[in-house]
Structure 1
Amino acid sequence: MLIFPLLTHLKPIRNRFFAPKGLLLLLLIAPLANSVEQTKPAQTLGLQQAVSKTLEQNPTLVAFGYQFEAQAGRVQQSGLKPNPELTLAVEDAFGSGELTGMDSAETTLGISWVLEGQQRRERVNAAQARTSVLEVERDIQRLDAAAKSARLYMLALALQTRLQQAEQAIDFARTVVKVIEQRVNAGNSPAAESARARVELSRRLLEHEDIEHELLVAKRQLAAQWGATQVDFTAVEGSLTQLPKVASYSDLKSRLDQNPRLQYFVTSERWEESQLTLAKAQSKPQWRLSAGVKHLSATDDQALVAGVAVPLGVFDRQQGRITEARALMALNRAEREAEQIQLDTNLYGTHQELLHSLHIVNAYQTEILPALATALKETRRAYDLGRYSYLEWQAVQRDYLDAQNTLIEASLAAHLKAIELERLTGVAIAPAAPMSTTTSTTHSTTH
């Protein structure tokens, strides 16, 4: 299996939800070794194709895209200027004596507006900083969705491999039934051995059916990653024996800062800083200017009027927000440090688990399975000579089949750990050359 950063292979996804602007270098999973660019039957599915469809059509990602439309509205709203106010004031009217009626009235028509240049700029800056936070959140969701699709893909591939092994086990069990029935008919074996062999065949058939159901579920779960309610492929491509190479822990750790979860804290800190700057700007008094025309009814004259209102800064009404913003900045830095430690711990543990899985795979492919294949061959020969009973032959058969299943599970675990390492670091895990002894060829020795 080849695992590479998918964004270096995929065409940019250009739509209103997933524009590439500001997109971090994410680790996304890419094609299997045999998934080269060529025409392939529609019923087969490659890993690159599965991840591409997930990034384009995943329902969660599509839903998240609407947050950018909402945020665009917030940015627009933050830059709007306050409307001016039109005022009309009448004085010295409808009073008593000389002020009866409107003869001595003074009418003023004016307009006033608030000067908020700095505050408006800081509101826009804060809204734009929040947009950057959303972009990192989108990157995290895309990374997680791609990694989940890769894991489901590998699970389906492992189940396909197990299904092939189950089919070979059924063929072998049928061969055993045939051999034993011939011996029973010849009077060389008791009839009980034939019954046991048929029971073993029935168990293998049930196991095959169980795997078929698990594979159907895995395919359905994979298709759901791109919003499909029906599976439109019959098989996934690849080989579990194409195992990843392992980079050193120090090399992987040096790339840990590429994880978008850490970038999220960096971007969030910028947003908190903009919130602090905005709170400080809002703590300054906003001047209000006014201008208008006054009409004096007594003399039928007009005059211009102008004024300025300056709020007295006796009380700072932003003290709480400033304190809150500073505390949130400190909280963000503390959480980033905690996340860094957690990611480093996960990286180390995943790296060790990958090494262990590869060790298990190597041991089974180079030592255990070849030894069991030889033991199975020799046990069969001894059974034909009457030196071993069927139970002894059956025990070696089961050991061999169990070892094959263990090899599949260890190979799957290695691929899953490699995917997790890429999700954590963004570092492509290069593929190793496939082992010369595969699960299919080793099984053929049982015949």
Structure 2
Amino acid sequence: MSCALISSFSYSANTQQALTLQTAIERTLQQNPQLHQFEFASQRLASERETSDLKPAYQLGVELENFAGTGEVSSFDSAELTVALSSVIELGDKRQSRVALANARMNTLELERQAQTLDVLGELTGSFIQLMSTQQELKLAAEAVELSKSLHNTVKNRAHSGAISDAEVMRAKAMLTQSNIQQENLRRRLERQKIALARFWGSTKIEFSSVEGDLFAFGQSQAFSDLYTAVQQSPAIMVFASEQRLKDAEVRLAQTQNRADLGWQFGIRRFEETGDSALTLGFSMPLFNESRNSGTVKSALAERNALEYRRSDRLLALHSRLYSAYSQREQFIAAHQQLKQSVIPDLEKALTITRQAYDRGRLKYQDWITAQQELLNAKQQMIETATVALLNQAVIEQLTAQPLTE
């Protein structure tokens, strides 16, 4: 499971304080409170299976007749005391059907556990990616602060020489302050995201300084048809097959009730009047069991038949979600590559040319500001496209329960 969700990231074992996605996944699998609930549910179902495998209980009965009446039976002289042992003989493989139903419930729970694990690890991966994205934004914010400082110093020097007015100095100072504010906001957001990440393994403390991974590593994707084939075998869909077996077991158990159980009673009766004893033997069986049980059987059959339509609807929804994630991943990777290879290099050159022209007095202050902001916006967009691409990749791996890239 962990391989399916960490294949897109690279790690280094040298940094002790940085948290890798693999470590986060291991901690989550070991300590996540939501996943540990399945252990108790499994114990409960195992106990129910033991109960289902029990044979019908024996009953000991004592019956006293013909005493404390009137006339000849006014005393205990004519009393009849019967001590009997009784039970039921189950017919129609009821016990085997109960055990089969308990086993089907345990199998369904295991697939639900796997599906829930994928959901939790998918959320964990999304939080991890968002944290990596914020770290990249912090680096960009630091770059923006340095650019603002450089601009502020240049503008102050020119103002001292009388080349420009003090108004531009105030504007440059305000921009520097705004850059510092943005940097501090990102630091605060980073701390909140760390807390949100730590909750996945049940912790309220931040025990890592940063997360380690490559936000800009995407890899080569598989074909969509192969991914959809994997989705059809994923726990999210296989749980319906398990539920189908569960419903079949419920139908069989309901059908076993058509055949009535045979009750028996064996005992000994003592006659106080004569001092004699005699054995007693009795049998009983409910009548018209099949007609009385027909409603239960029909209800179980209806639930089983409805399950196939639920599975088809779920599969259609997963197909739509998978295609949306697959398409968006390809779209944002393409946009990221264009920004990296074309847009940002052009804007970096434009900023250098603009600054040189400003120093020679050929361009205005606003031209430098515009060129600088365009470059920062493009780098911010590159971070955002990479983040969205990886978030969609995490969704795909969650749905398919396998790595998207080799």
Distance across 1 between alignment mates of 2:209 and 2:114 = 31
Give 1:71 deviation, angstroms: 2.0
Change (3 A) 1:108 1:161: same
Root-mean-square deviation (Å) = 1.9
Distance across 2 between alignment mates of 1:239 and 1:108 = 84
Out of 363, 371, 385, which is 1:396 matched to?
371
Distance across 1 between alignment mates of 2:273 and 2:125 = 87
Alignment of 1:23-422 (within 5 A): 27-29=4-6, 32-35=9-12, 38=13, 40-41=15-16, 43-93=17-67, 101-116=75-90, 118-313=93-288, 316-422=291-397
**Deviations 1:154-207 (CA, angstroms, capped at 9, x unpaired):** 111110011011111111111111122222222222322222211111111111
Distance across 1 between alignment mates of 2:129 and 2:289 = 66
Count matched residues.
405
Contact 1:265 1:332 in 2 (8 A): yes
One-letter amino acid of the structure 1 residue matched with residue 9 of structure 2? L
One-letter amino acid of the structure 1 residue matched with residue 95 of structure 2? R
Distance across 2 between alignment mates of 1:140 and 1:88 = 54
Contact 1:55 1:145 in 2 (8 A): no
Percentage of matched positions with identical amino acids: 29
SS at match of 2:391: helix
Contact 1:244 1:418 in 2 (8 A): no
Distance across 2 between alignment mates of 1:289 and 1:200 = 94
Contact 1:30 1:48 in 2 (8 A): no
Contact 1:110 1:292 in 2 (8 A): yes
Alignment of 1:1-20 (within 5 A): 5-6=1-2
Give 1:110 deviation, angstroms: 1.3
Question: What TM-score comes out, normalization by structure 2 length?
Answer: 0.94
After TM superposition, the structure 1 stretch with the greater mean CA deviation from structure 2, 256-265 or 62-71, is 62-71
After TM superposition, the structure 1 stretch with the greater mean CA deviation from structure 2, 361-370 or 419-428, is 419-428
Distance across 1 between alignment mates of 2:119 and 2:125 = 10
- Counterpart for residue 434 of structure 1: none
Contact 1:29 1:146 in 2 (8 A): no
Distance across 1 between alignment mates of 2:183 and 2:69 = 102
Give 1:245 deviation, angstroms: 2.2
SS at match of 1:232: coil
SS at match of 1:189: coil
Give 1:30 deviation, angstroms: 5.1
**Deviations 1:212-262 (CA, angstroms, capped at 9, x unpaired):** 111111111001111111111111101212123222211211211132111
Change (3 A) 1:243 1:31: closer
Distance across 1 between alignment mates of 2:353 and 2:205 = 48
Distance across 2 between alignment mates of 1:65 and 1:133 = 14
SS at match of 1:311: coil
Distance across 2 between alignment mates of 1:192 and 1:401 = 24
Change (3 A) 1:314 1:336: closer
Distance across 1 between alignment mates of 2:143 and 2:289 = 87
Contact 2:8 2:217 in 1 (8 A): no
Structure 2: any 5+ residue segments left out of the alignment?
none
Give 1:375 deviation, angstroms: 0.8
Give 1:268 deviation, angstroms: 0.8
Change (3 A) 1:223 1:94: closer
Contact 1:30 1:47 in 2 (8 A): no
SS at match of 2:162: coil
Distance across 2 between alignment mates of 1:68 and 1:125 = 16
Structure 1: any 5+ residue segments left out of the alignment?
9-26, 432-447
One-letter amino acid of the structure 1 residue matched with residue 155 of structure 2? I
One-letter amino acid of the structure 2 residue matched with residue 208 of structure 1? Q
SS at match of 2:81: strand
SS at match of 1:255: helix
Contact 2:49 2:99 in 1 (8 A): yes
Distance across 1 between alignment mates of 2:388 and 2:330 = 10
Distance across 2 between alignment mates of 1:77 and 1:87 = 24
One-letter amino acid of the structure 2 residue matched with residue 234 of structure 1? S
Contact 2:108 2:243 in 1 (8 A): yes
Give 1:264 deviation, angstroms: 1.3
Change (3 A) 1:96 1:186: closer
Contact 1:364 1:407 in 2 (8 A): yes
Give 1:400 deviation, angstroms: 0.2
After TM superposition, the structure 1 stretch with the greater mean CA deviation from structure 2, 157-166 or 240-249, is 240-249
SS at match of 2:269: strand
SS at match of 1:45: strand
Give 1:96 deviation, angstroms: 5.7
After TM superposition, the structure 1 stretch with the greater mean CA deviation from structure 2, 150-159 or 84-93, is 84-93
Contact 2:257 2:290 in 1 (8 A): no
SS at match of 2:232: helix
